Amino acid sequence: MKNNTVLSQDPLDTPLQLLKGIGPSIAKRLEKLSCSTVRDFLYAFPRGYEDRRNLPKLSAINLGESQTVVGKLRHLTEQIPRPGLSILKGTIEDETGRLSVVWFNQGFLKKTLKIGLDIVLNGKIEVNSYAQETQMTVAETDILFSPKDRADKLGKVLPSYPLTAGLFQSSLRKLSASLLSQYLPHLKDPLPDTTRKQFELAPLAFCIQNIHFPASRQAYIHAKRRLVFDEFLYLQLAVLQRKHLLAEDVTAEPLITQGPLIDTYIANLPYTLTGAQQRAIKDIRFDIEKPKMMNRLIQGDVGAGKTDVAIFALLCAIETEKKGILMAPTEILAEQHFYKLKKHLGHLGIPITLLKGKQKVKERRAALDTLRQEGGGIVVGTHALLEDPVEIPDIGLVVIDEQHRFGVIQRLKLKAKGYNPHCLFMTATPIPRSLLLTSFGDLEKSIMDELPPGRIPAQTRCIRHSQLPDCYRFCETQLSVGHQVFVVYPLVEESEKLDLKSAIDGHLELQSEVFLQYKVGLIHGRMSAAEKADIMDQFKQNQIQILVATTVIEVGIDVPNATTMIIHHAERFGLSQLHQLRGRIGRGGHASYCFLVTAPKSLNSKKRLQAMVETTCGFKLAEHDLAIRGPGDMLGTRQAGLPDLQIADLVKDEATLLLARKCATELLDADPNLTRPEHALLRKQSLAHQNIVYYHKLN
């Protein structure tokens, strides 16, 4: 170290800049890799590994592959064909032959590359058609100055770290080996020995050493399993402690779960509630009869009947002479809920108020006045409900639809207003179990995996643009018997950057050239709320037979007569979005058909579309989506409240996640606040992760 100043009681918190050989310049580059302290570096795991145990001889290299070879440098020249471009050309040899090598823009190596030195090179083996010879384009260079270098750099598996400008694998490997040797003895294991042995986990120091420099494949497997387990464990401890705090500390007034309004509503339904709906209602009833604030997530596939469950919960608030709030992410969805509630509950005499951002002054003033009144009622709206001027006394229960679009900050804002309402979150985006345990781990869950009787899954086909005429003829057969058609585009207007057909141009073409005898409507997000409501009303009344739309119809649109959907440029949509869109058809008991117009270029796009063709199960599609896109892209990391996972994988490591959750549960059952001496380090890690989870959910 550069000085003897002790900055921390824990040597692992030593700033890297204070270490010998690391000055301000290198320290800044390391900071770009999120490494400021020794601990940061030890937990900056390799992105991959380079196996140098059995390197090929030069006579046995394979064309077209990236390989690592070792040889003696016999020739080296530099060319600078133009400013900013440096080319080093050389030849290496071993006892079996010679190989031409070339370095692009690595002129700095000329000072250290000396003829006669043994060097290790990694790069792609190609044929130089101009020189008619086999050549390696070098990506990484290691120089063997001494027998010790040979021992350190050959005959073993070496880590490959993420890089940034000015940092090289050789220097990072050297730094890693030095830090492991000097500081690993100071690493304390947060897991008590009894816990570690119970779950068959390797010691932490062993794992850190072997994740950087694996002694064997088996050592690497044990190391990775422990580090994946730890990552999930700390997250689960944070989530479960947060859940415990909500359950213990947040009181709420119990609600009445039986009464004439509830009985009348259920008795007048034209169908029988499914078993899944009845189970969800039972779960809600169990929660809201207690003096503790309910925090429950209802996860149900498209068409599973979540609205009926939400209405039951809202009626419980009304029976208790309190207000029930239904909050939706978009104005069009809020309006859909408002009109649906008016239709189903109007005969019960329940006051239902709509509040949204874009509202006439007179309407908004009347709505606000209604909300200020004491007593029961239902309030439907968007995030406008959370604005400071809005006063809603006597809130008994809040339903937040499409929860993942809001995040959970809305619940915190409601509490900041002075309320502790029971909270019911709903999502039609099927969420894999691993995400439920992490992103939504602080909520109780009810899964609605049963569709109402009479729903016929849509038949789905992928077609090319050239097949559209045949598709349009099929639509004609559906229109001729009175059914209706959705046509979905990803853009509102033509984009100069993206070669996609726009909704506006598509609407014009369909009305003037294809469906001349039918009325073609257009709806998109840039329309005013009144315009969208008018178009949707015309479509529901079958005054419009073909509706051209963007993804504003993704959720909440219920037109039972619509049986066919055409989705243009389907490869540009995520699986969840495609599934939501497809869920708009087949809601009236008729056979339905979804055509995905696509020309997928990437393998992931092809996988997504094939999954859409093969299954209509939202839960299976969600597993596909998570595997293909990852949790951050699937739900949005910030909205999901899920910190970035460095080494764990929610798909591949689900079994370890379940084991870590079991461990976290047992630890907290025995020591809810982790206050025992043997849990001191675990408590520290858990608190750090609680801050991370809280930050992500707020942002």
Q: 76-112 pLDDT, tens per residue?
A: 999 998 988 999 999 999 999 999 999 998 888 888 8
Q: Quote the pLDDT of residue 6.
A: 43
Distance from C-alpha of 341 to C-alpha of 491, rounded to nearest angstrom: 31
Using one digit for the tens of pLDDT, what is the confidence trace for 442-461?
778 888 877 766 677 889 99
Q: Quote the pLDDT of residue 521.
A: 92
Q: How confident is the model at residue 5 (pLDDT cuts 50, 70, 90)?
A: very low
Least confident of 257-261, 630-634, 688-692: 630-634
Can you name the residues that pair with 447 across neighbouring β-strands? Answer: 299
Residues 197-218, mean pLDDT to the nearest whole number:
95
Give me the DSSP letters along 521-543: EEE-TTS-HHHHHHHHHHHHTTS
Q: Quote the pLDDT of residue 409.
A: 57
Q: Quote the pLDDT of residue 567.
A: 93
Q: Quote the pLDDT of residue 595.
A: 96
Highest mean pLDDT among 161-165, 533-537, 657-661: 657-661
Distance from C-alpha of 138 to C-alpha of 170, rounded to nearest angstrom: 14
Residues 469-488, mean pLDDT to the nearest whole number:
94
For residues 141 and 109, the answer to whether their CB atoms sit within 8 Å is yes
Q: How confident is the model at residue 597 (pLDDT cuts 50, 70, 90)?
A: very high
Residue 635 carries which DSSP code?
Answer: I
Count of other CB atoms within 10 angstroms of residue 605: 17
Residues 223-249, mean pLDDT to the nearest whole number:
84
Q: Quote the pLDDT of residue 38.
A: 94
Highest mean pLDDT among 260-269, 363-372, 525-534, 681-690: 260-269
| pLDDT(365) > 90 | no
Q: Quote the pLDDT of residue 247.
A: 63
The percent of residues in the chain predicted with pLDDT above 70, rounded, is 86
Least confident of 90-104, 159-173, 475-489, 523-537: 523-537
Enumerate helices (H) and strands (E) in the chain, giving the number of each: 24, 20
Q: Which CATH superfamily is domain 459-615 in?
A: P-loop containing nucleotide triphosphate hydrolases (3.40.50.300)
| pLDDT(167) > 90 | no
Q: How confident is the model at residue 70 (pLDDT cuts 50, 70, 90)?
A: very high
Q: How confident is the model at residue 557 (pLDDT cuts 50, 70, 90)?
A: low
Q: Do domains 55-154 and 459-615 have the same CATH topology?
A: no
More confident position, 226 or 395: 226
Q: Quote the pLDDT of residue 545.
A: 95
Give me the DSSP letters along 75-99: EEEEEEEETTEEEEEEEEEETTEEE
Highest mean pLDDT among 15-24, 175-184, 339-348, 354-363: 175-184
Can you say whether the dihedral through the CA atoms of 492, 495, 497, 500 is positive or negative?
positive
Residues 604-629, mean pLDDT to the nearest whole number:
78
Highest mean pLDDT among 67-71, 410-414, 555-559: 67-71
Q: Quote the pLDDT of residue 264.
A: 92
Residues 336-354, mean pLDDT to the nearest whole number:
85
Count of other CB atoms within 10 angstroms of residue 241: 21
Residues 194-213, mean pLDDT to the nearest whole number:
95
Using one digit for the tens of pLDDT, what is the confidence trace for 281-297?
999 999 999 888 888 88
Write the CB contacts of 631 (distance below 8 Å, at least 6 apart in sequence).
Answer: 435, 438, 439, 637, 640, 642, 650
DSSP-derived 3-state class of residue 657? helix
| pLDDT(582) > 80 | yes
Q: How confident is the model at residue 500 (pLDDT cuts 50, 70, 90)?
A: low
Can you say whether the dihedral through the CA atoms of 648, 650, 651, 654 is positive or negative?
positive
Query: Residue type at 231?
Result: E
* Pairing assessment for the beta strands 377-381 and 323-327 based on DSSP bridges: parallel
Highest mean pLDDT among 160-169, 374-383, 571-580, 656-665: 656-665
Residue 645's nearest CA partner among 442, 435, 441, 445 is 435
Residues 375-391, mean pLDDT to the nearest whole number:
77
Token pair for residue 373? 């009144």
| pLDDT(594) > 90 | yes
Q: How confident is the model at residue 342 (pLDDT cuts 50, 70, 90)?
A: confident
Count of other CB atoms within 10 angstroms of residue 484: 23
Q: Quote the pLDDT of residue 388.
A: 60
| pLDDT(211) > 90 | yes
Q: Where are the alpha helices (DSSP H) in 199-255?
A: 204-212, 217-249
Q: Quote the pLDDT of residue 697.
A: 39
Cα distances (angstroms) measured from residue 132 to each of 75, 88, 100: 18, 18, 11
Query: Residue type at 290?
Result: K
Distance from C-alpha of 175 to C-alpha of 168, rounded to nearest angstrom: 11
Q: Quote the pLDDT of residue 691.
A: 53
Q: Which residues of 68-96 are buried (b: 16+ CB within 10 A; e: fewer)?
A: bbbbbbeebeeeeeeeeebebebbbebee
Write the CB contacts of 614 (distance below 8 Å, at least 6 apart in sequence).
Answer: none
Cα distances (angstroms) measured from residue 654 to each of 26, 628, 659: 38, 15, 9
Distance from C-alpha of 318 to C-alpha of 395, rounded to nearest angstrom: 10
Residue 242's nearest CA partner among 603, 641, 663, 631 is 641
Going through 347-394 in order, the beta strands assigned E by DSSP cover: 352-355, 377-381
| pLDDT(413) > 60 | yes
CATH architecture of 55-154: Beta Barrel (2.40)
Distance from C-alpha of 385 to C-alpha of 325, rounded to nearest angstrom: 9
- Chain mean pLDDT for the chain: 83
Helix, strand and coil percent figures for the chain, each rounded to 5: 45, 20, 35
For residues 219 and 162, the answer to whether their CB atoms sit within 8 Å is no
Residue 270's nearest CA partner among 235, 305, 314 is 305
Q: Quote the pLDDT of residue 698.
A: 33
| pLDDT(469) > 80 | yes
Q: Quote the pLDDT of residue 414.
A: 59
Q: Quote the pLDDT of residue 460.
A: 93
Give me the DSSP letters along 492-520: SS--SSS---BHHHHHHHIIIII-TTS-E
For residues 283 and 296, the answer to whether their CB atoms sit within 8 Å is yes
Q: How confident is the model at residue 3 (pLDDT cuts 50, 70, 90)?
A: very low
Residues 510-537, mean pLDDT to the nearest whole number:
86
Q: Quote the pLDDT of residue 634.
A: 45
Q: Quote the pLDDT of residue 271.
A: 83
Domain residue extents for the chain: 11-47, 55-154, 260-448, 459-615
| pLDDT(635) > 50 | no
Q: Quote the pLDDT of residue 354.
A: 86
Q: Quote the pLDDT of residue 311.
A: 94
| pLDDT(470) > 60 | yes
CATH topology of domain 260-448: Rossmann fold (3.40.50)
Q: How confident is the model at residue 423 (pLDDT cuts 50, 70, 90)?
A: confident
| pLDDT(623) > 80 | no
